[in-house]
Structure 1
Amino acid sequence: MSVFVKICGLRKADDVHAAIDAGADAVGFVFAKSVRQITAAQAAAISAGVPAHIKRVAVMLHPANEEWQTVLQTFSPHALQTDAEDFALLDVPGSVEQWPVYREGGPKPDTSGTYIYEGHKSGQGVRVDWSLAAKIARDGKMILAGGLAVQNIAEAITTVQPFGVDVSSAVESAPGQKDAQLIKEFLSAVRAAEKNL
């Protein structure tokens, strides 16, 4: 089983290239308030050369529809990632995948498609209860997020057996500063762990 890997919070073209070179399946760009926040125009510029098979993901948090439409028109992502309840208020074309975020302790995830499962707040490096996540991951395409790092990714993959994993802060040398070597090490650890599934 091959584990889908998303590297999130990319802010520079070099970060994007590092993620692609390491073997990431998706690259995430944060439009919510964060040290990793960039504009739709910046995201479009730094992701211009991303191969078509790698998903470009717009990561938002409770966006107004107008804000989302700007991102959609300027950046044209493959997928929109935001909290599950946000989608009812947004006009998302059928060509854009919807990746709802479900938070530990919140409503039961709709497992009919791809979804993110993480802690109460994104980008904080806080891990969820993997034993609970494992029960949920049996259905749909769970992308596990929160507190994943080189040191624990093998255990996370073995315990939860998610469709995918999502990492941001653990592949940074400083907040918002991606580190190509850490990205490479994370991908290598994932690929080693998936051989045991």
Structure 2
Amino acid sequence: MPVKVKICGVCTVEDARAAVAAGADFVGLNFHPRSPRSVTPEAAGDIAQAVPGGTLVGVFVDAPRTRVEEIAARVGLSALQFHGDEDAEYCRGWGWRTIKAIRARPGTDLAALAARYPTDYLLLDSFVAGQPGGTGVALDPAAAAGLPVARLFVAGGLHPDTVAQVVRALRPFGVDVASGVEARPGRKDHAKIEEFIRRAKAA
């Protein structure tokens, strides 16, 4: 089965439509206020009206549970991605599919860390101190050793020229890209989206 593709950090209706038209399985909306790709619930609602149901993933970083639930219900999210320092207890008991991001911090036993989380999926991202994600820094695929690839998204500096190699090496459930298909932060390059998805799914 072809790898699933999540185009993350989408900020406009046009970019969301382009991602879905190109074959994206998921569209990621970032609700972290300090991200250059942050969207308001109002903007997210407009995007939700423009794409098929079941595709929207909300990205949150150490957000209060009540805020996450309010936004998820208001926008109509199909999954929640926790991209901060949320613990295992925080990740339990949601009424949505869940994804927990883990970052490949040097010296961390990622397999042991991943085993703590009861989420539906995990997302492996590169580590940059002080930045929860979307850094463009490439991930060493070796960091995925011992992780459950059947429920793993791989992120971290992916772009059209590198995604096929990562998919062939790891065979993850999905790949996730933000900066690698951008014209500038918060605005996607539609040609890059198309090429990224084509190469990922052909690998």
- What is the alpha-carbon root mean square deviation over aligned residues? 2.0
The answer on whether the counterparts of 1:134 and 1:162 sit within 8 Å (CA) in structure 2 is: no
TM-score by length of 2: 0.85
1:191 matched residue in structure 2: 201
Taking structure 1 as the reference length, the TM-score comes to: 0.88
Is residue 173 from structure 1 mapped to residue 183 from structure 2 by the alignment?
yes
The structure 1 segments of at least 4 consecutive aligned residues displaced by more than 6 Å after TM superposition are none
Does structure 1 residue 129 correspond to structure 2 residue 129?
A: no
Alignment-derived partner of residue 50 in structure 1: 51
Cα distance, 1:49 vs structure 2: 2.9
- The 3-state SS of whatever aligns with 2:166 is helix
What amino acid is aligned across from residue 42 of structure 1 in structure 2?
A
Query: Which is worse superposed, 141-150 or 59-68?
Result: 59-68
> 8 Å contact 2:10–2:37 — kept in the other structure?
yes
Report the counterpart of residue 39 of structure 1 in structure 2.
40
**Correspondence list, 1:14-163, <5 A:** 14-32=14-32, 33-52=34-53, 54-83=54-83, 85-86=86-87, 88-89=89-90, 93-94=94-95, 96-105=96-105, 106=108, 107=110, 108-110=113-115, 113-120=120-127, 121-138=132-149, 140-163=150-173
Task: State the number of aligned residues.
Answer: 190
Question: What's the CA shift string for 1:86-136, capped at 9, x where partnerless?
Answer: 563478543x10111111134521376311111223000112220231442
* TM-aligned CA deviation for residue 85 of structure 1: 2.5
Identity %: 33
Deviation at 1:72, TM superposition (A): 2.0
1:75 aligned partner, one-letter code: V
Is the 1:65–1:91 Cα contact (8 Å) retained in structure 2?
no
Supply the distance in 2 between the matched residues of 1:97 and 1:148 (Cα, whole angstroms).
24
- d(CA) in 2 for partners of 1:172 and 1:60? 20
Deviations 1:65-100 (A, max 9, x none): 232133123212111101462563478543x10111
In 2, Cα distance between equivalents of 1:70 and 1:99: 18
Q: Could you tell me how far apart the structure 1 residues matched to 2:164 and 2:39 are?
A: 31
Alpha-carbon separation, structure 2, partners of 1:85 and 1:93 = 13
**1:18 alignment partner AA:** A
Q: Contact 1:153–1:190 (CA<8 Å) still a contact in 2? A: yes
What letter matches 1:14 in structure 2?
Answer: E
Which string of whole-angstrom CA distances, capped at 9 and with x for unpartnered residues, describes residues 4-57 of structure 1? 0000011111001000000000000000121100111210112213223x4210
